[in-house]
């Protein structure tokens, strides 16, 4: 409680200085991207954007209690929830979640896992790498006779929300037993804190499998599995395949851009993609204008770094839709 | 004038001492108030419920409580004999030169921040445990090991200090009666230093049961009852560190506070019991 009031005191004192500093907090999933955007923005405009990667749940909580200027979440909120807490919402980028593994001697994309099999592994039904079900799709890979160590998130997480949403859609048993959520009762495995924690555990544990955001996979040279599209075709977690998936997103201002992007149709659509969202407190018009300026600037100049980091920038028409949403709300 | 200063000073110290009680009560009140929805819903069955599924709004504290107790137990069992061995060597056996250099390194070990032990544990200790004990190297045993490494310098340093307070005249008299070194250590030094040894073990216990960061790195962070000693599990402080920021539903939040309240109660009971039972025994013996 004391900490909370201290934080809000700090936030209040920075509020008075207004435009030269913006405070945001939330999802770890887009954090590398926001850091990059903030760095460029400060260099070009002198305005500092301070983003704390504390997790989607934390971001929602902090913007609800008005501690930060903007919150970030990978789990979009429905319009009625937004209305209740007087919040606005728009997407900032799209990312993909990769099923990563650490099997000594087996490289990136060498292992193919059908979506349903991914579910069986995370359920603990498939316990060894040389299980006939995995072997059937990987006849030429020398799969070891070793126990699979499942690694998942130990904290509440938007990445987990999107991943468990995907598992619930592709695996019936998962849906019945575990379900979708930012934190679930994992049937098996180890829990790492944050995308970083899962990355570390996977790197440290031979024969493990986990799920992380694409940027973390790239920066740490993890190996990712080839999975299947909604219609069952093999698909790798590449930029093009994630883009193909993003194309199908039907964004709309009416639902405050509420949209879960997993399992889009199309032959090359990578199945586990997710939008990442920004939440703004409705009543702080001046501050919102400053925040919107930052994102508008990043939409204009930040696509290149988004791609480099492994994210998919929003398509131009989506950006324009967001701009008109801002205009409707009187903050652009 | 002097008289007034005296009363002033007396009252000041009394006030400072009262602060301890105020803080204790304040902590309890806040924990209890925030935990109330969970206490109302689950009552004491929270302690024995095994399932923890935030997305279904089901919360049971048994795995976390068990993990706390077991990891602390492993740590104490490993650390106490090692630490007492070190202390005996340093106070009775080591030559003066070694005494200082060993003594300083022990104190240095005790001063290392816990997060460093956690990182070292994950990158160095986990693979070693995996090689020797099987499993995946991350779990209850590694957590217990790391805790043991963290607390043994603590116990060793205090035990050594209290052994050093044994009056030489006692030891010399024992030697004069024909006692060997072993006899002196066993029958003079250890009984004399007993209170200090037990005190240091109690303090270390307090540190181990509340340790968060180092354990978070290596315990595996899952709400499950370990069936093997190498299995992943969680502990109360680890659960709080992992989930507090993200707890959105009221019941989740309250359940975390309930866990905190239980941790508060457990450490309070353990320390109170240890203090009253062991230390009283020691004092009586004297």
**Could you report the per-residue pLDDT of A2-30, keeping only the tens digit for each?**
455 555 544 544 444 445 789 999 988 89
Q: Give pLDDT, residue B195.
A: 85
Residue A26 near chain B (CB below 8 Å) = no
Condensed to tens digits (0 to 9), the pLDDT of residues A190-234 reads 999 888 889 999 998 999 999 999 988 988 999 999 999 999 999
With CA atoms as reference, the chain B residue closest to A190 would be B220
- Using CB atoms and an 8 Å cut-off, which of residues 234-293 of chain A contact chain B? none
On whether residue B91 sits in a domain, the answer given is yes
Which chain A positions have a beta carbon within 8 Å of B245's beta carbon?
A: 54-55, 57-58, 61, 155-156
Q: Which pLDDT belongs to residue B1? A: 61
Is it the case that residue A269 has pLDDT exceeding 70? yes
- Taking domain A2-96+248-259+272-328, whether its CATH number is 3.40.190.10 is answered by yes
Contact state of A57 with B245 under an 8 Å Cβ cutoff? yes
Q: Find the closest chain A residue to B139 by CA distance.
A: A190
Domain count along chain B: 1
- Mutation for B interface: A164, A185, A194, most B CBs within 10 A: A185
Domain residue spans of chain A: 2-96+248-259+272-328, 97-246
Q: What is the mean pLDDT of chain A?
A: 89
What CATH number has the domain bearing residue B79?
1.10.3720.10
* Nearest CB to A193; choose among B51, B139, B242: B242
Interface of A with B in 179-198 (CB under 8 A): 179-186, 189-193
Domain-located, residue B103: yes
Whether B52 has its CB under 8 Å from any CB of chain A: the answer is yes
Q: Does B216 touch chain A (CB under 8 A)?
A: yes
User: Span A53-69, mean pLDDT?
Assistant: 88
Q: What is the pLDDT of residue B202?
A: 87
Nearest CB among A58, A61, A190 relative to B220 is that of A190
Domain-embedded: residue B48? no
**CATH assignment, A97-246:** 3.40.190.10
Residue of A nearest to B129 (CA): A205
Which residues of chain B does A167 touch, with a Cβ-Cβ cutoff of 8 Å?
A: none
State mean pLDDT over A275-281.
94
Question: Binning pLDDT at 50, 70 and 90, where does residue A250 land?
Answer: confident
- Look at residue B248 and tell me if it is in a domain: no
**A2-96+248-259+272-328 with A97-246: one CATH topology?**
yes
In the block, residue with structure tokens 């883009």: A243
> For position A207, what pLDDT does the model report?
94
In this complex, which of B123, B223, B242 lies closest to A204 when CB atoms are compared?
B123
**Judged by CB atoms within 8 Å, which residues 48-67 of A form the interface with B?**
54-58, 60-61
Contacts of B52 in chain A (CB under 8 A): 185
Written as tens digits, the pLDDT of chain B (286 aa) is 668 888 999 999 999 999 999 999 999 999 999 999 999 999 999 999 999 998 889 999 999 999 999 999 999 999 999 999 999 999 989 998 888 898 899 989 888 998 899 999 998 989 999 999 988 889 999 999 999 999 999 999 999 999 999 999 999 999 999 999 999 999 999 999 988 888 889 889 888 998 888 999 999 899 999 999 999 999 999 999 888 877 778 899 999 999 999 999 998 888 888 778 776 766 666 5
Reduced 3-state DSSP string for chain B: CHHHHHHHHHHHHHHHHHHHHHHHHHHHHHHHHHHHHHHHHHHHHHHCCCCCEHHHCECCCHHHHHHHHHHHHHHHHHHHHHHHHHHHHHHHHCCHHHHHHHHHHHHHHHHCCHHHHHHHHHHHHHHHHHHHHCCCCCCHHHHHHHHHHHHHHHHHHHHHHHHHCCCHHHHHHHHHCCCCHHHHHHHHHHHHHHHHHHHHHHHHHHHHHHCCHHHHHHCECCCCCCCCCCCCECCHHHHHHHHHHHCCCHHHHHHHHHHHHHHHHHHHHHHHHHHHHHHHHHHHHC
pLDDT band per the 50, 70, 90 thresholds, residue A58: confident
Q: What local confidence, expressed as pLDDT, does residue A13 receive? A: 47
Task: Establish if B227 belongs to a structural domain.
Answer: yes
Amino acid B246: pLDDT? 77
Question: What's the rounded mean pLDDT across residues A179-193?
Answer: 91
How close, in Å, is residue A188 to chain B by CA atoms? 8
Domain membership of residue B267 (yes or no) is no
Structural domain of residue B131, as residue ranges? 64-240
Buried b (16+ CB within 10 A) or exposed e, A190-215: bbbbbbbbbbbbbbbbbbbbbbbbbb
Per CB-CB distance under 8 Å, the chain B contacts of A1 are: 30
At residue A116 the predicted structure's pLDDT band, cuts being 50, 70 and 90, is: very high
Rounded distance, CA A181 to CA B151, Å? 38
In a domain, B136, yes or no: yes
What's the pTM?
0.83
pLDDT at site B285: 62
């Amino acid at each position: 409680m004391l900490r909370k009031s201290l934080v809000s005191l700090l936030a209040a004192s920075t509020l008075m200085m207004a435009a030269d500093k913006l405070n945001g907090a939330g999802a770890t999933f887009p954090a590398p991207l926001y850091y990059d955007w903030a760095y460029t923005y400060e260099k070009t405009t002198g305005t500092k954007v301070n983003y704390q990667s504390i997790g989607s749940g934390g971001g929602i909580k902090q913007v609800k209690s008005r501690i930060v200027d903007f919150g970030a979440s990978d789990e979009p909120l429905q319009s009625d929830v937004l209305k209740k807490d007087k919040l606005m919402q728009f997407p900032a980028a799209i990312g993909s979640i990769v099923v990563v593994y650490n099997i000594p001697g087996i490289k990136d994309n060498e292992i193919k896992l059908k979506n349903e099999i991914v579910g069986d592994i995370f359920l603990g039904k498939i316990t060894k790498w040389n299980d006939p079900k995995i072997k059937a799709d990987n006849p030429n890979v020398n799969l070891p006779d070793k126990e699979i160590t499942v690694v998942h998130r130990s904290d509440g997480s938007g990445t987990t929300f999107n991943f468990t949403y995907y598992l619930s859609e592709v695996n019936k048993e998962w849906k019945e037993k575990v379900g979708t959520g930012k934190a679930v009762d994992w049937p098996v495995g180890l829990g790492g804190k944050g995308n970083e924690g899962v990355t570390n555990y996977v790197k440290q544990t031979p024969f493990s499998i986990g799920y992380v955001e694409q940027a973390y996979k790239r920066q740490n040279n993890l190996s990712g599995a080839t999975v299947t599209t909604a219609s069952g075709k093999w698909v790798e977690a590449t930029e093009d395949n994630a883009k193909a998936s993003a194309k199908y997103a039907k964004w709309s201002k009416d639902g405050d851009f509420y949209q879960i992007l997993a399992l889009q149709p199309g032959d090359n659509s990578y199945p586990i993609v997710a939008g990442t969202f920004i939440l703004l407190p409705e009543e702080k018009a001046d501050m919102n204008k400053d925040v919107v300026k930052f994102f508008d600037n990043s939409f204009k100049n930040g696509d290149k770094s988004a791609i480099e980091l492994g994210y998919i920038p929003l398509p131009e028409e989506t950006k324009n839709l967001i701009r008109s949403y801002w205009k409707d709300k009187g903050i652009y | 004038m002097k008289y007034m200063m005296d009363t002033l000073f007396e009252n000041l110290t009394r006030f400072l001492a009262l602060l301890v009680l105020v803080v204790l009560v304040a902590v309890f009140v806040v924990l209890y108030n925030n935990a109330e929805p969970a206490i109302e819903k689950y009552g004491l069955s929270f302690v024995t419920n095994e399932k923890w599924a935030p997305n279904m709004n089901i919360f049971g504290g048994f795995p976390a409580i068990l993990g706390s107790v077991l990891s602390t137990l492993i740590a104490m069992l490993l650390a106490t004999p090692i630490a007492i061995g070190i202390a005996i060597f340093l106070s009775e056996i080591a030559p003066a030169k070694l005494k200082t250099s060993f003594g300083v390194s022990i104190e240095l070990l005790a001063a290392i921040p816990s997060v460093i032990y956690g990182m070292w544990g994950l990158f160095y200790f986990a693979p070693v445990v995996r090689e020797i004990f099987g499993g995946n190297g991350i779990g209850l045993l590694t957590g217990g090991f790391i805790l043991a490494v963290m607390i043994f310098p603590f116990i060793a340093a205090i035990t050594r200090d209290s052994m050093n307070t044994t009056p030489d005249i006692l030891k010399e008299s024992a030697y004069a009666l024909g006692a060997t070194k072993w006899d002196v250590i066993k029958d003079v030094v250890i009984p004399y230093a007993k209170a200090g040894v037990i005190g240091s073990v109690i303090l270390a216990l307090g540190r181990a049961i509340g340790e968060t960061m180092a354990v978070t790195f290596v315990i595996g962070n899952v709400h499950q009852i370990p069936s093997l000693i190498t299995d992943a599990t969680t502990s109360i402080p680890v659960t709080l560190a992992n989930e507090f920021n993200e707890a959105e539903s009221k019941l989740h939040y309250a359940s975390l506070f309930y866990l905190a309240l239980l941790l508060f109660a457990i450490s309070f009971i353990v320390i109170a019991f240890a203090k009253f039972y062991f230390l009283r025994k020691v004092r009586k013996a004297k």
